[in-house]
Structure 1
Amino acid sequence: MKLHTRTNYRTVILVRSRAIDPSVHKVAKVLAQNNYNVKLLIWDRKGEKYFEKLNGYSVRYFSIKAPYDKVSVAFYLPLWWLYEFFFLLLSDAKIIHACDLDTLLPAITIKLIKKVKLCYTIYDFYADNLPKSFPSFARKLIAWIEKFSIGLCDAIFIVDPTRYRQIKGARIKSIGILYNSPPDYVEGRFASKSSATREVTLFYAGLIDRSRGLIDILKVIRNLDGVKLIIAGSGPDERIFKNLPSYLKHKVEYVGFIPYEEVMKRTLEADILFALYDPSIPNNIYASPNKLFEAMMCGKPIIVNEEITATEIVKKERCGLVVPYGNVEAIKGAIIRLKRDPKLRLMLGRNGRLAYEKRYNWKLIEKKLISTYRELNEFLARSLN
């Protein structure tokens, strides 16, 4: 008979189906720093990695090539679920932390078989993240499955308070907010600078998809002097930036997928950030962009569209400008306004930085995460001894 030791109680497996997402690595690092034995299972859809050690935790990759953010990924899900099921079955973890619905069902099965504890982070409510053309009945079925599954979890995390509207009606035992805030990369040495230089830099790092307002940004840049656009990331529409027309090549730099540390470096070097989400996709309305909190942490102004709930933070903290989605003239006007007024850029950036320090600092979010895990850990210790 296997003895249950304190180490057993503190063994955690986090599961995420997106290798390009830094959020789960932040959670893994925090847990490892708090003496948890952390293993991370990730689906590497480029099929390039198998195993590595990072920041005190290990990462096992499911290396099967598959697309991101396309319905065709459904054909690969059974293989992913099978791999996840056996990985969890053979592990000694007493806490499983699933992320999004495409990791949750195998995790629930293992919870019921092995009587372990299950945390669940909802980065994107699955039914609302499906394409507009997806059948309504299927969307409702998937929403019901996710809400029912939430009732089988021991703790739920959402990335913004407004996300509760998406899961309203689900049986929730415990819920916490894990904002998409970055760790403080500039703590103790922050100095927001903004000068009236002839050229300003507009920076975006994230999913390369038309639904992120990128085509509108290109339309603006085409006829706007003194603005350079730097784009980082990967996605279904990256070919647009790989094959730019000649009249844009001197204005737009596409750097592809870059490490998160370089994202932060380029954010600090930029003058303006933007986060635009097509509101016709239901999940986009509840977008809680990494870019918003990265801009706040780095003291940079951000342009967001008025239809998303993240606008509530931008308006409350006075850290950016708000435009209607798809309104090229409004976007152009916001960029010109920020370009011509370095004092405004400085004020918005400082407002964002102050709000980050007081309300959205990753250290504050860490405390809630560790508190929840401590409660689960204590319950396991009582029940297994």
Structure 2
Amino acid sequence: MEKLQLGYVKGYDIMTKICVLTTVHHAYDGRIYHKQCKSLKNAGYDVTLLAPKPDREIANDDIKLVPIEKPKKEWKRFLRAFTVFQMAKKTNADLYHFHDPELLPVGVLLRIFTKKPVIFDVHEHYPNAIMSKKYLKKWIKHPVRLVYELIEKISLPILSGVIYTTEEVGERYQRYTSCKIENYPLPDMFPPIKSGSKEEDYILYLGGITPIRGIEELVVGFAHAVKLKPEAKLVFVGSFESTAFEKKIHELVFENGLKDKVLFKGKVPYEKIEEHLAKASIGIIPYLPVPNHLVCLPNKLFEYMAAGVAVIASDFPHYRKVVESSNSGLMINPERPQSIAKAILTLLEDPEQVRVLGESGKGAFAEKYNWDIEEKKLLAFYKKLLK
């Protein structure tokens, strides 16, 4: 019955068409494809995804993928707006849902020329994120931020709705038709923990490897800890921001005698991350206190909890709120390697505490931090806009 209410246009026997757009994220991004697109498809919508062409395509999901050529330079993404608009308009969708801030002009054009509902999906606090962009020169960051804020201010009254994450990010969008939908993990990806599957000395870092995520401080902190716990290992699952930073981190690993203690697995498909989480006992989030980190919640926090992994996280107010309320981990000062080392040693020396924290976090995930709950919000928001 829900499918009939949500996925079909009243009075017609054709499915409601949805066009989802991203020029930045991977076609099979966890949030966009595995959660939102699949939820919409399961609810009865006809879903088309415009996204960068992947190395391989997933078959049999019945979600149409229209590949977009991804520019090699980030700033060139803005130049493809009109082409993306034309591609999206050709889908003749009943609702358009875009995920990148540079697509704001595309969203406005779609709203004006198609008269159909258009949703802007906000993944982070973009003005703050601009101030952390390494490819932007320091002197130009403030002007770029002001220009973005102006474009957003002009665009939002024209668009139909905004989806955002966290209360802090959402403060910017309260005056518009909006909905808070968190990027919580999929329950089906995280089966019950098998007895003996966890390796007591396995510490996992999951996600992109960049300077502002505290990687240098993490390596130095781990080097201090491993002197007292030589059996420990630190595993990175994710890709480096640049070859220069990759070289820097490998040199740091070598200088600290960690060659056999720190492992780099590279980036893995979203559906494969559970294989690494299943082995880990401890998961770490050492993000530095840059503006965007202070208002956003990282996906990996909830993925650690979903997999029953004890968490070590930067001591930011909104991180602390989740970790303490769920009793799932310890807080650190990410700028002090000694603080990181102390937390690592505290858990490595107490496997029972690690087990309790992991089970408590998994319980909180099952109760309130999972995608099944957020999916209902997404479908209700679509139903509201399509009326």
TM-score range, shorter chain: 0.7 to 0.9
2:302–2:365 contact (8 Å) kept in structure 1: yes
Distance 2:77 2:189 in 1: 40
Distance 1:135 1:260, change over 3 A: closer
SS of 1:283's equivalent? coil
Q: For residues 97 and 316 of structure 1, what CA distance do their matches in structure 2 show?
A: 33
1:176 is aligned to 179
Which position in structure 2 is the counterpart of 1:18?
25
- 2:323 corresponds in structure 1 to 314
2:222–2:340 CA contact under 8 A, matched in 1: no
Residues 1:142 and 2:148 aligned together: yes
Alignment equivalent of 2:235, drawn from 215, 225, 230: 230
Is this contact kept in 1: 2:15–2:44, CA < 8 A?
no
- Give yes or no for contact 1:50–1:61 (8 Å, CA) kept in 2: no
CA–CA separation in structure 2 for the residues paired with 1:110 and 1:264: 38
- Structure 1 distance, partners of 2:101, 2:313, is 27
CA contact (8 A) 2:189 2:274 kept: no
**1:80-99 matches, cutoff 5 A:** 81-99=81-99
Q: Deviations over 1:154-211 (max 9, x none)?
A: 222112223223x15x6312x222212111136663457687x7x6111122111011
Letter in 2 for 1:84: V
Distance 2:323 2:216 in 1: 23
Q: Does 1:266 align with 2:276?
A: yes
Amino acid at match of 1:214: I
- The match for 2:4 is none
Instruction: Go from structure 1 to structure 2 and tell me whether the alpha carbon gap of 1:102 and 1:290 turns closer, same or farther (over 3 Å shift).
Output: same
Corresponding residue number in structure 1 for 2:214: 213
TM-score normalized by the length of structure 2: 0.85
State the alpha-carbon separation in 2 of the partners of residues 23 and 10 from structure 1: 21
Alignment correspondent of 2:366: 357
Alpha-carbon distance in structure 1 between the residues aligned to 2:59 and 2:197: 39
Give the fraction of aligned pairs with identical amino acids, expressed as a percent: 22
Q: CA deviation at 1:348?
A: 1.3
Partner of 1:328: 337
Paired position in structure 1 for 2:158: 152
Contact 1:120-1:157 within 8 A present in 2 as well = yes
Q: How does 1:358-377 map to 2 (within 5 A)?
A: 358-377=367-386
Q: How does 1:65-214 map to 2 (within 5 A)?
A: 65-66=71-72, 73-79=74-80, 81-132=81-132, 133=138, 134-165=140-171, 167=172, 171-173=175-177, 175-185=178-188, 189-190=192-193, 200-214=201-215
Residue aligning to 1:382: none
Aligned length: 361
- The amino acid that maps onto 1:18 is H
Partner Cα separation in structure 2 for residue 186 and residue 322 of structure 1: 26
Secondary structure of the 1:282 match is coil
Aligned partners of 2:60, 2:209: CA distance in 1, in Å?
26
Paired letter, 1:143: E
- Give the counterpart letter for 1:230 in structure 2: V
Q: In the alignment, what sits opposite 1:70? A: none
Distance 2:373 2:194 in 1: 22
Residues 304-362 of structure 1: CA distance to partner in whole angstroms, max 9, x if unpaired? 11135223211222211111121100100000001111121112112211111111121
Question: In 2, distance between residues paired with 1:296 and 1:192?
Answer: 17
Unaligned runs of 5+ in 1: 68-72, 380-385
Which residue, 32, 37, 45 being the options, matches 1:36?
45
Match of 2:356 in 1: 347
**1:282 Cα shift?**
1.5
Specify every segment of 5 or more residues in structure 2 that has no aligned partner in the other structure, as ranges: 1-8, 133-137
**Which secondary structure does the structure 2 equivalent of 1:248 belong to?**
coil
Asked if 1:248 is matched to 2:258, the reply is yes
Distance apart, 1:94 and its partner CA: 1.1
- How far residue 63 of structure 1 moved from its aligned partner, in angstroms, is 2.3
If asked which structure has higher relative contact order (CA below 8 Å, sep 6+), I would say 2
- Measure the CA separation in 2 of the matches of 1:130 and 1:171: 23
Match 1:276 to one of 258, 268, 286 = 286
User: Matched residue of 2:265: which SS?
Assistant: strand
Native 8 Å contact 1:285 1:307 kept in 2: yes
